[in-house]
A and B are shown apart, each in its own frame.
Chain A
Amino acid sequence: MEERDFDIIVVGSGCAGAVAAYVAASAGKSVLVVERGNYAGAKNMTGGRIYSHSLKKVFPDFEQSAPLERKITHERIAMMDPESEMTIDFTSKELGEEGKDSYSVLRGPFDQWLAEQAENAGAEYICGIPVEELLKDESGAVYGIKAGEDEITAHVTIVADGVNSLLSERSLGNPRPKANEMAVGIKEVFELPAGQIEDRFLTPEGEGAAMLFVGDCTHGNVGGGFLYTNKDSISLGLVATISTAADASNPVPVYQMLEDFKNHPAVAPIIRGAKMVEHSGHMVPEGGYNMVPTYTFDGALIAGEAAGLCMNMGYQVRGMDFAVASGQFAGEAAVAAIDAEDVSVAGLASYKQKMEGSFVIQDLETFKLWPATMEKWDRMFTDYPVMIKEIFNAMFSVDGKPQEHLKKRMMPIIKKRGMFSLLKEVKGALKAL
């Protein structure tokens, strides 16, 4: 093979990029990571929680040194209309078991830890420089990057520049994700002492809760609210599908949605007295399997959110575990291709095989009908939370008038919506889930 400056260049030091760099450097390859933030994590944001199974495979002892916020042992799902909220709070030992455990994280500290692992394994870092384009030869094969005035060459370039991947679109020719395949995420971090967090969420010391909201948090638009407890802060925000939030039928800008969400009678007490220390925004790829672009090229691989690897199931959101696994596979595939002296698409094919042979592509494929189902399930975001309110008001409120049997109180609430159409909708959704 021709002489190159590095064996491998990784663009972006998030979960995918840093892990790819760590894997490749650990295998003895010369690796350069180019990160546009002044430090890893400076441009990144998560809700967020990481399911640890894929991280464990790369870093078996990650619990000992990674800046994890809290082990999530309480799962909460909430439905809200403007004046009510119904929450399910589930906790069990299994949620915290090794291999199934998940953790709230903040990407500032977390990504710096990941970058440190890559650097300790021998990867070189340049921070504060965005990569503008990929270098390509006459045949279109990628052989490095252009950043400012500098051209740096490598046998394999791993593109892990995140959800807003300009390189995937502009240098590799993938289509721009559509507005109905992407959501906008908006989040604020609120400082709160650890003890107060544990009291407010009824969690054991050091453990935490994850919470997803549907309904009025997005004022009935497709999307939802989220809350994650960190060590001594709370991440609170919402996600709204861009096409529907941008539509003229939605009068409320997403930042006003967040403001109204924070002022909701069931949410305001959670952050009462807490100081807001960061306001952030980030996109979320929500199109699932159907939006995954071509991710193997002559001389280049795409990993992580840049490849659309994310799943929003409504009751569960995953992304970072996909990013870590794809980073690992990309790193391994790049190493194998260089060793075999073939970095063409064919030489890098083990990346695709590993992706398709694992949960990464298989989970996305299993749930490929869900994004479109969710997008069309208007009532989940509008009327169902109202119905839930009516049901529980009918059940719990007492005004001293002689009471009807429970069934008699419930049936009108269900009937006015049509029992059949309700069952049909739920059945349809369950098929996609």
Chain B
Amino acid sequence: MSDIAKITVNVDEAIAVDKYNVDEENAHIELVDDPDMEEFKKLVRVCPAALYKIDEDGKPTFDYAGCLECGTCRIACGDTIIKKWDMPQPTMGVEYRFG
């Protein structure tokens, strides 16, 4: 991840304080197979929940479970590597208590 700065924050811990009803059955966001890495890095840079990561082997990883449903990835890469972006199924997803 040479062109991504050193990450010192654990966003997984930050979003752990949020309330979610995670839909284990349905991914509301899907990427294309073998996404272009330059496009994927855009998502690493803009997703406020840090759901798009590059692992130690340089492989892209994505988990929709902590999604804040902001749509930023859809605007950034909706024409390239985001294959599907729908709202989560009824009653599912993030539930802001403060907002």
- Which residues of A approach B to under 8 Å, CB–CB? 36-38, 41-46, 106-108, 110-111, 128-130, 132, 148, 163-164, 166, 176-179, 182, 184-186, 188-189, 233, 235, 240, 242, 245-248, 250-256, 258-259, 276-283
Separation of A188 and B14 alpha carbons in the complex (Å) = 9
- In the complex, the answer to whether B91 meets A278 with C-beta atoms within 8 Å is no
- In the complex, the answer to whether B99 meets A45 with C-beta atoms within 8 Å is yes
> Which chain B residue has the least Cβ–Cβ distance from A166?
B87
Q: In the complex, what's the smallest C-beta–C-beta distance from B27 to chain A, in angstroms? A: 15
A256 touching B8 in the complex, CB below 8 Å, given contacts A130-B87, A164-B70, A246-B45: yes
> Which chain A residue has the least Cβ–Cβ distance from B41?
A248
For the complex, is B35 an interface residue (Cβ under 8 Å from A)?
no
Contact of A184 among B5, B48, B93 (CB under 8 A): B48
Chain A residues, Cβ within 8 Å of B96: 41-45, 107-108, 278, 280
Separation of A45 and B70 alpha carbons in the complex (Å) = 9
Chain A residues, Cβ within 8 Å of B90: 36, 128-130, 148
Given A130-B88, A130-B90, A276-B17; 9 other pairs, CB 8 A cutoff: A111-B99, A163-B71, A166-B85, A176-B75, A246-B76, A253-B47, A254-B46, A255-B50, A282-B68
Q: In the complex, what's the smallest C-beta–C-beta distance from A256 to chain B, in angstroms? A: 6
- Which residues of B approach A to under 8 Å, CB–CB? 3-5, 7-9, 11, 14-15, 17-18, 21, 38, 41-50, 68-72, 74-76, 78, 85-91, 93-99
> Which chain B residue has the least Cβ–Cβ distance from A14?
B99
- In the complex, the answer to whether B78 meets A176 with C-beta atoms within 8 Å is yes
- In the complex, the answer to whether A184 meets B70 with C-beta atoms within 8 Å is yes
- In the complex, the answer to whether B75 meets A177 with C-beta atoms within 8 Å is yes
> Which chain A residue has the least Cβ–Cβ distance from B91?
A128
- In the complex, the answer to whether B18 meets A278 with C-beta atoms within 8 Å is yes
Q: Which of A148, A185, A254 has the most CB atoms of chain B within a 10 A radius of its CB?
A: A254
- In the complex, the answer to whether B18 meets A164 with C-beta atoms within 8 Å is no
Chain B residues, Cβ within 8 Å of A277: 17, 97-98
- In the complex, the answer to whether B99 meets A242 with C-beta atoms within 8 Å is no
- In the complex, the answer to whether B72 meets A281 with C-beta atoms within 8 Å is yes
Separation of A178 and B76 alpha carbons in the complex (Å) = 8
Separation of A178 and B74 alpha carbons in the complex (Å) = 10
Q: In the complex, what's the smallest C-beta–C-beta distance from B12 to chain A, in angstroms? A: 10
Listed by A's residue number, 12 A-B pairs whose Cβ atoms lie within 8 Å are A42-B94, A43-B95, A178-B75, A240-B46, A242-B72, A242-B75, A246-B76, A248-B38, A251-B5, A254-B48, A276-B14, A276-B17
Chain A residues, Cβ within 8 Å of B9: 255-256, 258-259
- In the complex, the answer to whether A256 meets B97 with C-beta atoms within 8 Å is no
Classify the secondary structure of B's interface with A.
loop
Chain A residues, Cβ within 8 Å of B14: 188, 255, 276, 279
Interface contacts (Cβ under 8 Å), in number, total 159
Separation of A107 and B96 alpha carbons in the complex (Å) = 8
> Which chain B residue has the least Cβ–Cβ distance from A44?
B99
- In the complex, the answer to whether B76 meets A281 with C-beta atoms within 8 Å is no
Q: In the complex, what's the smallest C-beta–C-beta distance from B71 to chain A, in angstroms? A: 3
- In the complex, the answer to whether B99 meets A179 with C-beta atoms within 8 Å is no
- In the complex, the answer to whether A281 meets B18 with C-beta atoms within 8 Å is no
- In the complex, the answer to whether A253 meets B17 with C-beta atoms within 8 Å is no
- In the complex, the answer to whether A46 meets B99 with C-beta atoms within 8 Å is yes
> Which chain A residue has the least Cβ–Cβ distance from B70?
A281
Separation of A246 and B75 alpha carbons in the complex (Å) = 11
> Which chain B residue has the least Cβ–Cβ distance from A111?
B99
Chain A residues, Cβ within 8 Å of B21: 38
Separation of A246 and B21 alpha carbons in the complex (Å) = 29
Separation of A1 and B87 alpha carbons in the complex (Å) = 33
- In the complex, the answer to whether B48 meets A43 with C-beta atoms within 8 Å is no
> Which chain B residue has the least Cβ–Cβ distance from A253?
B45
> Which chain B residue has the least Cβ–Cβ distance from A262?
B9
- In the complex, the answer to whether A246 meets B42 with C-beta atoms within 8 Å is yes
Chain A residues, Cβ within 8 Å of B46: 184, 240, 242, 245-246, 253-254
Contact of B15 among A37, A252, A279 (CB under 8 A): A279
- In the complex, the answer to whether B98 meets A283 with C-beta atoms within 8 Å is no
Chain B residues, Cβ within 8 Å of A255: 9, 11, 14, 47-50
Separation of A398 and B90 alpha carbons in the complex (Å) = 63
- In the complex, the answer to whether B99 meets A106 with C-beta atoms within 8 Å is yes
- In the complex, the answer to whether A43 meets B38 with C-beta atoms within 8 Å is no
Q: In the complex, what's the smallest C-beta–C-beta distance from A86 to chain B, in angstroms? A: 25
Separation of A153 and B86 alpha carbons in the complex (Å) = 22
Separation of A233 and B72 alpha carbons in the complex (Å) = 26
Q: In the complex, what's the smallest C-beta–C-beta distance from B96 to chain A, in angstroms? A: 5
A279 touching B18 in the complex, CB below 8 Å, given contacts A42-B95, A253-B50: yes
